[in-house]
Homo-oligomer: A and B are copies of this chain.
Amino acid sequence: MNIKEIAGILKSHDKFEILTHNYPDGDCIGSAYALALALKAIGKKARVIVTDRQRKFEYIFSLLEDEEFDAEYIVSVDVADEKLLGPVNKPKYSGRIDLCIDHHKSNVIDAAVKYVDSDSAAAGEIIYELIPELGAKIDRNIADCLYTAISTDTGCFRYTNTTSKTLRIAAGLLDIGCNSEYINKEMFETKSKKRIELEREILDKMIFCAGDKCAIIYTTKKMTEGLTDDETEGIASIPRQIEGVKMGVTIREKDEDFKVSVRTNDGVDACEFCGKFGGGGHAAAAGCSIKGDLGSVIDAIVAEAERTL
């Protein structure tokens, strides 16, 4: 089905519930609210189901008033798997999704209608093309939602998923007058004090090995106590970005074991490395879980890094 046909289906319904994934990111929230606002603009009723309302997206949440109505059509946006609906919403919505809109290649949602475009850097790119087909206009509010969606999923146009189409869509949103200045500051230039303190502690304890070709950072449960997922996001990029480092390793203490994320440059095989510990993934990004105490986990990683690099 093409985007015109998807728009046709949406136009034939009236009361929408739009599902997001657990711990929603900017793309999920921005895309879902953009779609809801567009549906309302053409006279429909729409609500967005959000399990975890992060304060940083308040400028988006505030755009849509809560309304009581019985939804008759259920749309998921940016959700690759029903499991990701979370413990409350998975049982509630399982098997009930009418339309799934997503950009994850790995999408396994079982929905009556699916529109998955993995060439899109963000679900927001799909919604950007869908809205005019609905007969709605992308106004400033919708542009703020879509700019949030597209900028966050591309690391503000820095990640390799950024295409010329991504940049042209963003240009269109700037022309509409989206508040990119505010959004960029909130999404990319703001860190909580706790996050800054975590970074300081991580840098204090960073370990280099294999002739500085491997950098290892770790967080203990104590270090991340009271921090939200959002506040610990992206720390895995710290070791990888150091000049000369071919393998950046992040170790996180969990309840039962240590989760290890490995990011590599210059052809070093992260998947093979993690395979030694029963894990796997991609050539440049892989993971594994290791049981034991922190010291022995670090020793095992260091020993394997010395062998590999």
Contacts and interface: CB of A to CB of B under 8 A. Distances in A.
B160 A171 contact: no
Q: How large is the interface on A (under 10, 10 to 19, 20 to 34, 35 or more residues)?
A: 35 or more
Identical chains bound together, number: 2
A86 interface: no
A303 interface: no
Most buried by B among A163, A171, A174, A191: A171
B164 A174 contact: yes
Contact of A193 (B168, B175, B181, B212): B212
B157 A190 contact: no
A158 B171 contact: no
A170 interface: yes
Nearest to A212: B193
A179 to B, nearest CB: 11
Contacts of A190: 241-243
Contacts of A9: none
B174 A167 contact: yes
A92 interface: no
A189 interface: yes
Interface string A170-190: 111011000011001000111
